[in-house]
Amino acid sequence: MDNPREETGDEQYRTRGAYTIAAVRADPETTGMEVDFAAANAGVKTTGRQIDDLEDTLQEHEAVVIVRDLVTDKLVRSYDLHLLDMVDKNRDDPRYQRYFPNGLRAVTEADARQVEPKLVRDIIKTLDEDQTKPGFDKLHAEYRDKLWAAVQAVEVADTACEQIETQLAFLKDKVLIEVKLKWVEERKKLHAELTKKFPHDARRVESYFLRFAKARKKKPQ
């Protein structure tokens, strides 16, 4: 009997486990010996399904981040156009540089979850400081609250993503590793018990176990 390797996919644990459980249970001489291993296999299956569900949920939350980021980008671009009108299209104007020292794209194309929200908050803070300056009262009235609502919406979505990512990391790095170790341990015990039951029939013992598929070697480029 071989054992899973480091690169063995989770699905091989489940499928090989299902085969062994069914094979041992189907044999009148061994039925019932699979119980402990079946419990370990159920642990792998349950954890795997939890991971799959969380990965789906994460995709949903990431979609929300993307959509809300696009809304924020649209607002920032609109603000940029109005600000450019006020400074006669002069991007070197100090009033424009206060908001976009590295250009518009440095904001709208920044990382949507970690970087852009901070940059938009800087724009809002600067707009609050400038609201009494000539021309900025109208910009403040039109954009300040919209930008605030947009960036908050992105941050809420980001927080939801972080929570799911934390749960996923725990399941993958802690729970799944633990249940896999238990799976291997119980499988070895079952193999030992079957060997003890059929000490002179190694072929029969091995018939209860499927071998693990080896990872394909990558072809040289």
Predicted pLDDT at 38: 98
What is the arithmetic mean of pLDDT over 102-115?
96
Straight-line distance from the first to the last Cα atom of the chain, in angstroms, rounded to the nearest whole number: 34
Query: pLDDT (tens digit, 9 = 90+) per residue, 48-100?
Result: 999 999 999 999 999 999 999 999 999 999 999 999 999 999 999 999 999 99
- Residue 141: CB partners within 8 Å, gap ≥ 6? none
pLDDT band, very low/low/confident/very high, at 216 (cuts 50, 70, 90): low
Place of tokens 């809002």: 124
Q: pTM of the predicted model, to two decimals?
A: 0.82
**CB contact at 8 A, 157 and 129:** no
pLDDT over 80 (residue 192): yes
Average pLDDT, the chain: 95
Q: What is the mean pLDDT of residues 31-57?
A: 97
Q: Taking a C-beta distance cutoff of 8 angstroms, is the pair 29, 204 a contact?
A: no
Categorize the per-residue pLDDT at 213 as very low, low, confident or very high, splitting at 50, 70 and 90.
confident
Percent of the chain with pLDDT over 70: 97
Which stretches within the chain are classed as H helix? Answer: 10-26, 35-86, 94-97, 105-108, 116-130, 136-170, 176-197, 202-206
Domain boundaries defined on the chain: 10-206
Cα separation, 119 vs 181, whole angstroms: 46
